[in-house]
Chain A
Amino acid sequence: MPTSQASNKSIVLKGLAAMLWIISSVLALYALNGVADLVSSIYAAFWAEGGPYGEAYYSSVALRQMVIVPGAILTAAVVIGSAEYSLRHFNTPGLWRLFARILGVEAGILLLATLL
């Protein structure tokens, strides 16, 4: 392949990788909130009664806080880890598969958080 074409392709792929990283990082933050919402929703569906004065309400808030901290650590790991992996394994099948999996997980969480 001529050098200019190879160079153009490399720029496009770098741009694509960067864009996917940005999208997955932003979605990771939304997914973090989504997981907290999901846990609260499922808990509330089974146990909540008594409105904001009920015992279940406070338990639900506590559950949400328990989810947020480890979730935030995981989110940071995903953001930083995917960036590192992109730099080391640029334009490999493993990289694209990694982004596909990360986006798949995030989409699944957001889908559940929306529906439930």
Chain B
Amino acid sequence: MEAGAHLLSSIVFVVALIVFSIHTLLGLLYPYPLDYGEAPLVDQAMRLAEGRAIYRANLDTPPYTITNYPPLYVLAMTPFVALFGPNFWGGRLISIVSALVVAYFLGGVVDAQAGNRRGGDRFAARLTALLFLAFPYVASWAKLARIDLLALALSTAALYVIARWPQHNRALVGTALLLTAAIYTRQSYGLAAPFAAFVWVFVRRGWRAALALAGMVGAVGLTLFLILNLATGGGFFFNIVTANVNPFNVDTVMRYARELRELAPILLLFCAVLIVVIPARGRGKLGGAAGWPMVVPYLAGALLSAGTIGKIGSNVNYLLELCAALALVAGTVLTWSGKVWRDDAESCGPAWVSPVARSVTLILLAVQAGMLMQFTLRNPVQDFKYRVSPRLSLDELRVLVAETAGPVLADEYMGMLTLNGKALTLQPFEVTQLANAGLWDQTPLLDAIRAETFPLILIHHYRGYAVYKERWTPEMLTAIQEHYVASDFKADTILFRPRSTAGVNPPVDGACPGAPWPFPSSAALGLRWYNKTLSLMGIGYDNSVPVYAVADGRLMRRADWPDAVAILHDDPLNPGQQVWAFYGGMASRDGQVSYVSAAFPPGSADVPVKAGALLGYQGSYRYDWTHLHFAVLPPLADGSFPAALVWRETEQDLSLTEVLLQIERHDPSLYLGSTGSSVAGVEDWLPVNCQP
């Protein structure tokens, strides 16, 4: 039975390795940035390669950039940038190799701890390694040029050294140096692994050795800190401590906790076995799980570190240590399961217990790995596909940035600047957090925006989330709206150009000169045209951008419309006739929360409204962006609303085909005075450009 379970789990884990390999290889070969945080690191490597400092003590003058992390990863990336020019593959290669190194050392820890009792457990070691790589968070982060996996590799190497040679003083020194190196790759790695190493040494060698370890880490770490801080005039402390204080959101922590509970229920069960059952089973002697004094403290520290994922701007990198800890838990439980009742000299149980226990553990681990892989293929892989899909647009964007003379501001696609060898002028997220905390004066930057200093500003919008609200202060966005105009759209990124040079004629006070109607809402991020309907995309989260009636009329709102109203106006282009204006999208994405004004409850009919009346606020109902869905529709023959023309028909309504036989949508651009589109069948992004 055990032989069968071995093969079953082997097959599952080999497929997990294949999925990891494909995922990371595709990321490695992709030339453009995959994450906001990659470009600043490449920029720092470029500066180091040119002999320039990366830890500036203040942001009084540009560049307004922050080096959030200690220098080890950037130092490792610098040779790639120096030899091959700005690129992301060098940093990604470091991450991928680091992930494999982490897997190796995690397996090594399990093997070493199993070997400390009686022989190693190579199979459990391999499974531990592959389980770590099966985590969706590991695969998705390993393909990025980010610091975390290098830090994890150094810290797990430290745990391996002290697990393999716990009695050797040189191992103690080596562990201290590796832990310090991990901290100087990412400062948050000063918790879980050092704590685990300390407890392990305390249990195996006593308090003197443990204190010596802590003392060495503290001394080397503090010495390096003082040297770096002195050399940078206080810039090191400012960048890695002061600039890292971001607001905290408990909801984010709870969301990831729920996700982990659904993703890894078997591993959570193993945690319970490790923490409760094994000590109870061993009658206080940890019953065969020799790794307990390292794994449990490491798990505790990793959980605390993972809790900081609630910081604004955090991502799944905060869960990597927890993934490593859970892999260790699995390996430890697996080695223990093979020794149940075998090592207990007082009461040897039946011989079949251990093989069955181990077989069951292997099967459960195989199921768990399958669940992890399922999540990987359905989530990070699909996100990656979406990210890389607009390849042509990104090629165009790169060329556009290359051809733009002068400093360019960008958020998600800062990498287009670094790829073109341009230094970053601004890291918007970092300085926004500093500005919000009152630690940075954004006035010089705002003045530069108002003076139209920057020929191009790129603002990105995630699918389903207005991430730019975290990355730009309200003052920056206002200054951009007032002095720049959205002139182009590429890869979910709005390109803003100065009003004076954009070649776009924007509305004045919300209306195009001479147009029959004003704009019903802000379209600061542009218009999306689809089959003669418009999505006006305002700047802001849901329920923050107001929507107004364009003219006097009579309003109706169907009972099954959480997000929309329709108003029958006099047709300004056809005197004597009337026309419906449809205002939709004013609800949450799932339609559960309506942003329509309470004055117009569902079921409203024939309600008189005046021009400029507040109808509600933009939402993201049935869409990825905060928007207002606007359409101008002739009435049906009986004067009723042609619901099929905005895809809202019910069984009582005429079908789209039937309606189109009678009437068709009016061109809304004629009513708003803006330029329209001749594109049919697909969405076309348009700047808000008033017709001359």
| Residues in chain A within 8 A of chain B (CB atoms) | 38, 41-42, 45-47, 49, 97, 99-105, 107-109, 111-112, 114-116
B6 touches which of A45, A104, A109 (Cβ 8 Å): A104
Whether B381 lies near A112 (C-beta < 8 A) is: no
Q: Which of B4, B6, B19, B370 is packed against the most chain A CB atoms within 10 Å? A: B4
28 contacts between A and B (CB under 8 A): A42-B15, A42-B377, A45-B378, A45-B381, A46-B23, A46-B26, A46-B381, A101-B4, A103-B4, A104-B8, A104-B11, A105-B7, A107-B8, A108-B9, A108-B10, A108-B12, A108-B366, A111-B366, A112-B12, A112-B15, A112-B370, A114-B370, A115-B367, A115-B370, A115-B371, A115-B374, A116-B373, A116-B374
Q: How far is the CB of B326 from chain A (nearest CB, A)?
A: 18
A42/B3 contact (C-beta < 8 A), A108-B10, A116-B370, A116-B374 known: no
Complex interface: chain A residues within 8 A of B10 (CB): 108
Whether A109 lies near B381 (C-beta < 8 A) is: no
Q: How far is the CB of B436 from chain A (nearest CB, A)?
A: 39
Q: In the bound complex, what is the Cα–Cα distance between A104 and B8 (angstroms)? A: 5
Docked complex: B379-393 residues within 8 A CB-CB of A = 381-382, 385, 389
Q: In the bound complex, what is the Cα–Cα distance between A107 and B9 (angstroms)? A: 9
Complex interface: chain B residues within 8 A of A47 (CB): 385
Q: In the bound complex, what is the Cα–Cα distance between A101 and B319 (angstroms)? A: 36
Smallest Cβ-Cβ distance to B7: which chain A residue: A104
Complex interface: chain A residues within 8 A of B366 (CB): 108, 111
Complex interface: chain B residues within 8 A of A107 (CB): 4, 8
Sample of 19 more A-B contacts, CB < 8 Å, known A109-B11, A111-B367, A115-B367: A38-B15, A42-B18, A45-B381, A45-B382, A46-B381, A49-B385, A49-B389, A97-B3, A99-B4, A101-B3, A105-B7, A105-B8, A107-B8, A108-B9, A108-B10, A108-B11, A112-B373, A115-B370, A115-B373
Q: How far is the CB of A47 from chain B (nearest CB, A)?
A: 8
What is the predominant secondary structure among interface residues of chain A facing chain B? helix
Smallest Cβ-Cβ distance to A106: which chain B residue: B8
Docked complex: B1-34 residues within 8 A CB-CB of A = 1-12, 15, 18-19, 22-23, 26
Nearest first, the 8 A-B pairs at minimum CB distance are A104-B4, A108-B11, A100-B4, A104-B7, A115-B370, A108-B8, A45-B377, A104-B8
Q: In the bound complex, what is the Cα–Cα distance between A112 and B378 (angstroms)? A: 14
Smallest Cβ-Cβ distance to B384: which chain A residue: A46
Whether B385 lies near A104 (C-beta < 8 A) is: no
Whether B377 lies near A41 (C-beta < 8 A) is: yes
Complex interface: chain B residues within 8 A of A104 (CB): 3-8, 11
Smallest Cβ-Cβ distance to B16: which chain A residue: A112
Whether B22 lies near A46 (C-beta < 8 A) is: yes
| Residues in chain B within 8 A of chain A (CB atoms) | 1-12, 15, 18-19, 22-23, 26, 366-367, 370-371, 373-374, 377-378, 381-382, 385, 389
Q: In the bound complex, what is the Cα–Cα distance between A103 and B23 (angstroms)? A: 30
Smallest Cβ-Cβ distance to A45: which chain B residue: B377
Smallest Cβ-Cβ distance to B11: which chain A residue: A108
Q: Which of A38, A47, A49, A108 is packed against the most chain B CB atoms within 10 Å? A: A108
Smallest Cβ-Cβ distance to A103: which chain B residue: B4
Complex interface: chain A residues within 8 A of B12 (CB): 108, 111-112
Q: How far is the CB of B10 from chain A (nearest CB, A)?
A: 7
Whether B370 lies near A111 (C-beta < 8 A) is: yes
Q: How far is the CB of B564 from chain A (nearest CB, A)?
A: 30
A42 touches which of B5, B22, B371 (Cβ 8 Å): B22
Q: In the bound complex, what is the Cα–Cα distance between A103 and B15 (angstroms)? A: 18
Q: How far is the CB of A94 from chain B (nearest CB, A)?
A: 11
Complex interface: chain A residues within 8 A of B11 (CB): 104-105, 108-109, 112
Smallest Cβ-Cβ distance to A42: which chain B residue: B19
Q: How far is the CB of B130 from chain A (nearest CB, A)?
A: 13
Complex interface: chain B residues within 8 A of A38 (CB): 15
Whether B374 lies near A101 (C-beta < 8 A) is: no
Complex interface: chain B residues within 8 A of A109 (CB): 11
Smallest Cβ-Cβ distance to B381: which chain A residue: A45
Complex interface: chain A residues within 8 A of B4 (CB): 99-104, 107
A101/B7 contact (C-beta < 8 A), A108-B12, A108-B366, A111-B366 known: yes
Q: In the bound complex, what is the Cα–Cα distance between A99 and B11 (angstroms)? A: 16
